[in-house]
Structure 1
Amino acid sequence: MIRCLRLAAALLVGAATPLSAQDADIIIRGGTVYDGSGGEGREADLVVKGDRIVAVGDAGTLRGKTEVDARGLAVSPGFIDVHAHSQEVAERLDGPFINPTFLAQGVTTLIGGPDGRYGPAALKRMFGALQAKGSTQNYGCYVGHNGIRHQVMGDARRRADPAELDAMKKLVRGGMEMGCVGLSTGLMFVPGMYADKAEIVALAREVRPFGGAYDSHTRDPVLRMMESEIEAIEIGAEAGIPVKLAHLKAVGLVNKGHVDDIIRRVEAERACGREIVADQYPYDCAATGMLSELFVFPDTDVDAPTSYATVRQRIAASLAVPREAAILRKATHDGIDGGFAWIRAVGWGSIRIVAAPGRQALVGKNLQLLANESGEDPFDLAARLLMQPGEPIIVTFGSIAEEDVQKLLVQPWVMFGSDGTYMDGGTDADMHPRGAGSFPRILGHYSRDLKLLPLGEAIRKMTSLPADHLRLPQRGRLAPGLFADIAIFDPAKIIDRATYTDPGARSEGIVHVIVNGRFVLRDGAASGETPGRFVAAAGKPR
């Protein structure tokens, strides 16, 4: 048996204190350790004291208060979800934030606030709730443009004036002073869509003194994919900060194969010394929801909850009156007064049916192609399908070619994020399996089964790559002195189980998860411990 680094009196804690049995809280023995650097695993022991790793090597006769036999298992840094939404429920929960589907994925740190969602006040409320109630995972954040703009300007559909821009700059600085990792935008959504590039550049410059980054749900990622991704890259260049292209993908029939164009542009920028990265979830579908959500009624907020049955009734009534049918058609295609509508954002060629109980022949069909086959207008086809009796049809609002998923997945500058929501066993149509399966899907399906990337490299893209980009130097690696965020899993068994009809099905193969030196998952079951804490970025204002 080959061991690395002999552990004995020579191993030190702090300044120069030899390890003893009383000092070792946890010893993980005999696992294959992947330290997060991207290399192959090596057989070694890990020693944890308090919330820190104190040694990686051969623990010898040292004994810990808790010992884990990890023979046959992989031991890696806990996974960092760089695009997370699950913690957004914290204020609504009665008890602690346990987050079971993410524990079963090995996730130890959640980076929230993507898509421009939250200003500093909302982030403080969310994190205050997590701190007060307890959290299984660590949590960090972006400060969000949409949240800030709404606070300063409401839903004003215009450019910001100088006073409003100054007020928004102050809020961005406030978020960075909290420890946020950068500025995020959601330029596809209200009110961010009404900001011009100059406004975003001005706000992005406020994060530069803190070493922050720019993260963007880009402006029009389907109908103007390349222009939108290039806008994000240019914003970062003009502001002088790193850029992360959020949940990068090539959506819809119109973009199939064009992921190569994105890859070439990013690699050209990186060759010039610019830090451009992306995150990706490993699925061929973007947001999911009921077919009824495609329809926009002129007197209804697009985000207002409306039952499938209610929409059926309203469509039947509208289609019976030609004038009302025309109004419904226009609102569905263009939004209300130019506001958000799924078809305006992604087009019919991006809509694919992912579940149709009792109508299995429809599953996997693209609505535009179905309409072409039947000779119908896509709006009429969707209305007809909706009016047919049966359980709700679930669609993705952004279909992605699997070959494009795989091309992005192997790029060394692409990290992984779930874009997933909190799940507690529900099966709502707007739940996506990425919230329960993203990280095990990478490790099991794409790394082990398809052999698209080595296990060590897959782990790097979940650990040290995001930690470095987000300026979290104490996370993302297994080394003495770093925080003990650790995932222990069976590389032969790890796999996702979530589907579009059962999106909350928990992944398999994660055995233990440790956060800040405490078990949050033990032998596959949540321990009830809540050691998660706020992780602030390392940047400091100059």
Structure 2
Amino acid sequence: MKHADTLFWNVLLIDGSGAAPAHGDLAVVGDRIAAIGDLSAWTAAREIDGGGLALGPGFIDSHTHDDRAILGDPADMTCKVSQGVTTVIVGNCGVSLAPLKSTTRPVAPLDLLGDESWWVYGSFAAYAARLAAQPPAVNALALVGHMSLRVAVMGEELDREARPDEIAAMRALLAQALDEGAAGFSTGLAYPPSRAATTAEVSGIATPLAAHDALYVTHLRDEGTRVVEAIEEALEIGRTVGCAVVLSHHKCALRENFGRSRDTLALIERSSAAQRVDLDAYPYAASSTALLVELLRDDLPVQITWSLACPEAAGRMLADIADEWGVDQGETARRLQPAGAVYFSMDEGDVRRILAHPRTMIGSDGLPHDRLPHPRLWGSFPRVLGHYARDVGLFPLETAVHKMTGMPAHVFGLEDRGVLRPGAFADLVLFDPATVIDRATFADPVQAAGGIAEVWVNGASAYTPEAGRVTAAAGRLLRRRPAL
């Protein structure tokens, strides 16, 4: 008779590989999966009769801004763990808490992570030490942000290309962070603090990625009219540096670009024959970031998610506030600063086409510190499982699970994560394929998903609907282990 800490009977095992599900049993000992199959000879401290519920690897959120959230109360990560997320990729869009110290509130969008009280990590090692001292609710893999490096080296002079000595200084900071455990380098070239950076600047900073077999992860310079050129720039950087590329939250924004995902996905597919390129997407036709005046258009509905100057504006449409104040939307946005917003800028057909592409992972891109956040923060993963896989039939359930487990584990080099097999870490989610669904809406976004029965992080039970919050801090800072 063999003994486990936790034993699952009669569950539908979805192993994360994309293979068809199979009914069986699974045993957990410590933080690892010990056995899978017919485990009728086993006993356990806790035995769970799945009754046909699905058991999958814990979901990997391939694009987050949880850099600060994982440092706080474990309950701060209920937005993710309640969806089945057990691992988050942080430091995206050129925005990372480390390595940057600041005594003043940083410029947008760096301030999406918080005011100056959070910008205290002058090295990646310091950030890693904080997570080691106070383990997070979920596992995390961290990137270093270009925007953070620019501010650290260039100060407030961000509206110009970096000088050669500044590029060298940023390159040294990146190399140090990679030595200390960072998994790659991210950019957000569409944002003002990085927009003046040339392709040569980015490539010059990113040189250490090749030696570390690390990733270049990018919020493209343009996701609208020049999206094809922006993808080509990202691919050029990957070739110049000699590293894999991940295209963040891929989209074709603004009405005149609806349908262009046919062209962008064809380009990505052609390029993948010569270099490693992957992408992530969230399952909504609206984006969210800082409220930026330059993004506003008369045909672009915008909803406010937070405003320091006018907190009561959260949840309201910008156009309605403008009408009430008797000024145009640009002036309204200026009066609300600093602030965040949702932009209803995408086409549902493009969203579905991108989600269905075989190289697309699922990333929420949620902003956990917004007062009324985009519903993707609480709903992305159950929405893919329930709405797009089950109800729309965009892809089979096992494909949906693969896009949020085995695929990102491979792309980001997460060893023994994202799969159900003996020896893998026991990051697990038990859910009902018939009822799993997102409940978060644009009007009421802070809503836990339906159909998630329980979630485990490294073998520890971390969430149940009955508890309604994260109940364990069993996460770890992970290091990238690239596949051979």
TM-score by length of structure 2 reads 0.84
CA distance in 1, matches of 2:330, 2:199: 37
For residue 428 of structure 2, what is the aligned residue in structure 1? 486
For residue 453 of structure 1, what is the aligned residue in structure 2? 395
Give 5+ residue unaligned stretches, structure 2. Answer: 100-121, 306-314, 334-339
Is the aligned partner of 1:82 residue 2:62?
A: yes
CA distance in 2, matches of 1:107, 1:90: 13
CA distance in 1, matches of 2:16, 2:255: 37
1:350: Cα distance to partner?
6.3
For residue 309 of structure 1, what is the aligned residue in structure 2? none
Q: Which of 60, 82, 93 is 1:115 aligned to?
A: 93
For residue 100 of structure 1, what is the aligned residue in structure 2? 78
What fraction of aligned residue pairs are identical, expressed as a percent?
35
For residue 307 of structure 1, what is the aligned residue in structure 2? none
Q: Which of 47, 50, 56 is 2:36 aligned to?
A: 56
1:135: Cα distance to partner?
1.9
Q: Secondary structure at the match of 2:279?
A: strand
Against the structure 1 CA distance between its residues 90 and 102, is the aligned structure 2 distance closer, same or farther, given a 3 Å change threshold?
A: closer
1:126: Cα distance to partner?
4.4
CA distance in 2, matches of 1:286, 1:406: 15
Which has the larger displacement, 496-505 or 150-159? Answer: 150-159
Letter in 1 for 2:231: E
CA distance in 2, matches of 1:384, 1:141: 37
Letter in 1 for 2:262: D
1:144: Cα distance to partner?
1.2
For residue 143 of structure 1, what is the aligned residue in structure 2? 144
1:527: Cα distance to partner?
5.7
Q: Secondary structure at the match of 2:200?
A: helix
Q: Secondary structure at the match of 1:484?
A: coil
For residue 515 of structure 1, what is the aligned residue in structure 2? 457
Q: Which runs of structure 2 are paired with 1:192-271 in the superposition (5 Å)? A: 192-270=194-272
Report how many aligned residue pairs link the two structures: 442
Against the structure 1 CA distance between its residues 244 and 147, is the aligned structure 2 distance closer, same or farther, given a 3 Å change threshold?
A: same
- Does the Cα contact within 8 Å between 1:26 and 1:65 map onto a contact in 2? yes
For residue 134 of structure 1, what is the aligned residue in structure 2? 135
Cα deviation digits, residues 308-344 of structure 1 (max 9, x gap): xxxxxxxxxxxxxxxxxxxxxxxxxxxxxxxxxx343
- Does the Cα contact within 8 Å between 1:222 and 1:252 map onto a contact in 2? yes
CA distance in 1, matches of 2:426, 2:196: 43
CA distance in 2, matches of 1:53, 1:153: 47
- Does the Cα contact within 8 Å between 2:302 and 2:344 map onto a contact in 1? no
1:148: Cα distance to partner?
1.1
- Does the Cα contact within 8 Å between 1:97 and 1:134 map onto a contact in 2? no
CA distance in 2, matches of 1:276, 1:539: 14
- Does the Cα contact within 8 Å between 1:350 and 1:397 map onto a contact in 2? no
- Does the Cα contact within 8 Å between 1:182 and 1:212 map onto a contact in 2? yes
- Does the Cα contact within 8 Å between 2:124 and 2:180 map onto a contact in 1? no
Q: Secondary structure at the match of 1:139?
A: strand
Letter in 2 for 1:52: R
Give 5+ residue unaligned stretches, structure 1. Answer: 1-18, 294-341, 357-362, 371-375, 387-393
For residue 476 of structure 2, what is the aligned residue in structure 1? 533
Cα deviation digits, residues 212-241 of structure 1 (max 9, x gap): 111011112224222212211211122111
For residue 155 of structure 1, what is the aligned residue in structure 2? 156
Cα deviation digits, residues 251-296 of structure 1 (max 9, x gap): 11121111111011001111x232111110100100167xxx5xxx
Against the structure 1 CA distance between its residues 212 and 350, is the aligned structure 2 distance closer, same or farther, given a 3 Å change threshold?
A: farther
Once superposed, what is the RMSD of the aligned Cα atoms?
A: 2.9
Tell me which structure has the larger Cα radius of gyration.
Answer: 1
For residue 442 of structure 2, what is the aligned residue in structure 1? 500
Letter in 2 for 1:536: R
- Does the Cα contact within 8 Å between 1:36 and 1:463 map onto a contact in 2? yes
Cα deviation digits, residues 472-520 of structure 1 (max 9, x gap): 1211101111111111101111000111111111111111111111110
Against the structure 1 CA distance between its residues 384 and 111, is the aligned structure 2 distance closer, same or farther, given a 3 Å change threshold?
A: closer
Q: Which runs of structure 2 are paired with 1:326-345 in the superposition (5 Å)? A: 342-344=292-294
Q: Which runs of structure 2 are paired with 1:290-305 in the superposition (5 Å)? A: 293=291
Q: Which of 414, 428, 431 is 2:360 aligned to?
A: 414
1:397: Cα distance to partner?
2.8
Q: Secondary structure at the match of 2:168?
A: helix
- Does the Cα contact within 8 Å between 1:251 and 1:350 map onto a contact in 2? no
Q: Secondary structure at the match of 1:64?
A: strand
CA distance in 2, matches of 1:210, 1:266: 24
- Does the Cα contact within 8 Å between 2:296 and 2:330 map onto a contact in 1? no
- Does the Cα contact within 8 Å between 2:81 and 2:470 map onto a contact in 1? no
1:524: Cα distance to partner?
4.8
- Does the Cα contact within 8 Å between 2:80 and 2:377 map onto a contact in 1? yes
Letter in 1 for 2:204: A
Letter in 2 for 1:162: P
- Does the Cα contact within 8 Å between 1:510 and 1:524 map onto a contact in 2? no
Is the aligned partner of 1:441 residue 2:392?
A: no
Against the structure 1 CA distance between its residues 146 and 384, is the aligned structure 2 distance closer, same or farther, given a 3 Å change threshold?
A: closer
1:201: Cα distance to partner?
1.1
For residue 282 of structure 2, what is the aligned residue in structure 1? 281
Q: Secondary structure at the match of 2:210?
A: helix
For residue 308 of structure 2, what is the aligned residue in structure 1? none
